[in-house]
A and B are shown apart, each in its own frame.
Chain A
Amino acid sequence: MSKVFAPLLVVCGAMFFYAPFLIVGAPYEATMGLVQKIFYFHVPSAMTLFLSAFVAGIASAIFLFAGRPAADRVAAAAAEIAVVLGIIVLVSGPLWARKAWGVWWQWDARLTSTLVMWLVFQSYLLLRRYGGPGSERLAAAVAIFGAALVPFVYWSVNLWRTVHPNTNVVPTLAPSMRGPFWFCVAAFLCLYVLLLTLRTALESRRSELDALYLALED
């Protein structure tokens, strides 16, 4: 693990500690009031989810076409984090929806496509766990399909008229909300980099251990 890990961990911890103060200080949204504050948590985690899906897809493509086992380990780590982030997005979303729309869940394009993408990465993890030897290549193919769904998830709100706020919300934020929002995005990105490095390192250790066991048996 690189030398920047420990300092980054401290910075990330400090950012997550400071974020609530910034969010409290941000102005109330005119119509939604307090409920809107979940936006500072929901949107950054969704952005990181997209990023993680892309990382998993691209790393899987590198593994398939260039045959680098290291890329496969990155893909496995990214897919696992994508599933965790997906849970965060799919739990924080309904919490807001209950107050804003009056229902927990709506079969709207953005919600459905996010759920589908989350299920794809869930099946990726199942395959890696229970597929036995040789399943890494198939898992890589599944991850590429999962990453291909990301653009559909992103544009779904603009293509169909849905109840979910569309992609114009972030660029047209009020200046007083912009600061806290991007701070939260940066904090989530920082956390993502930390988790990805840690999880990839763990996966590398595991494959080293497997190689040692094989060497011992020979």
Chain B
Amino acid sequence: MSFMAAVALVVRKDLVIETRSREVVYTALLFAVSCVLVFAFGFVNEGRADPAAAAAILWIAIAFSGTLALGRIFDRERQNETMRALLLAPVARPAIYVGKLAGVLSLLLMVQAIVVPLVALWFQAELFRHASLVIALLATGSLGYAAVGTLFAAMLARTRGRGALLPVLLYPVTIPVIIAGVKGTVALLQAEPNLAIARAWLMMLIAFDAVFITLALWIFEPAMAE
């Protein structure tokens, strides 16, 4: 079986399970919305929030709901003992990783499709003024975050204390991605958007994505060995 065919199969499997139960999308989405709501009361003054606050809240909601989704997706694999079956499949291990990553990323993007307009609405944040750049920042940021998250969550599925350890491990490593995402979004939300700075942070995110995905692909195979 070719690499891409194996990736497509893993993605299809995850999306079929998800469309039947819709569990991860619903819980992650509700969590992200409640996250935004909690912060809204601290940062909105007279109906408007500081652009920096809006950008930070958006990325915090993405990061937190991402952790929830990651934990749940791999919990499901562990409960049904399907992780072992997946790893026993006669396909390249990196293909399994890429398939899982694509599944996680599509879930994250689905959540963002609701949360981003909501933040724009509640905080009167001009997220759609430079829509293509905002989308590029969100996509590259989510990719870097999901690349590390998928690797760590897959490995944590076999250890004790998963729930507490995933955020503890994931946030320090992915802080550079979150910082770049927040800074890039803030540059676009200001009264006079600074496109050059936003593009510079986008380049930074692409660099982080390249480093993280390379490392994760390289590590996944030996790390998942029994």
A residues with CB within 8 A of B = 64-65, 67, 112-113, 116, 119-120, 122-123, 126-127, 130-135, 137-138, 140-142, 144-146, 148-149, 152
Contacts and interface: CB of A to CB of B under 8 A. Distances in A.
A145 B173 contact: yes
B9 interface: no
B148 interface: yes
Given A116-B176, A123-B172, A132 B161 contact: yes
Contacts of B155: 137-138, 141
Contacts of B168: 123, 126-127
Nearest to A121: B172
Contact of A141 (B152, B179, B225): B152
B147 to A, nearest CB: 11
Contact of A130 (B148, B161, B179): B161
A142 B159 contact: no
Nearest to B154: A138
B151 A141 contact: yes
A132 B152 CA distance: 15
13 contacts: A116-B172, A122-B172, A123-B169, A123-B172, A123-B173, A131-B159, A131-B160, A132-B161, A133-B160, A137-B223, A141-B219, A145-B215, A146-B173
Given A138-B152, A141-B151, A141-B155, 4 more contacts: A67-B222, A119-B172, A130-B161, A144-B215
B183 to A, nearest CB: 11
Q: What interface size band does chain B fall in?
A: 20 to 34
Contacts of A134: 158-159
Contacts of B156: 138
B196 interface: no
For the residues of B in contact with A, the DSSP-based class is helix
B92 interface: no
Contact of B219 (A112, A116, A144, A146): A144
**Which 6 A/B pairs are nearest by Cβ-Cβ distance?**
A132-B160, A119-B172, A138-B155, A64-B222, A120-B172, A131-B159
Interface string B177-221: 001000000000000000000000000000000011001000100
Contacts of B175: 116, 119
Nearest to B169: A123
B161 A141 contact: no
A130 B168 CA distance: 12
Contacts of A148: 211, 215
B223 A140 contact: yes
A148 B225 CA distance: 22
B223 A64 contact: yes
B222 A65 contact: yes
Contact of A64 (B158, B159, B165, B219): B219
Residue from A122, A126, A127, A140 having most chain B Cβ neighbours under 10 A: A127
Contacts of A146: 173
Given A138-B155, A144-B215, A130 B160 contact: yes
Interface string B115-158: 00000000000000000000000000000000010011001101
A36 B1 CA distance: 63
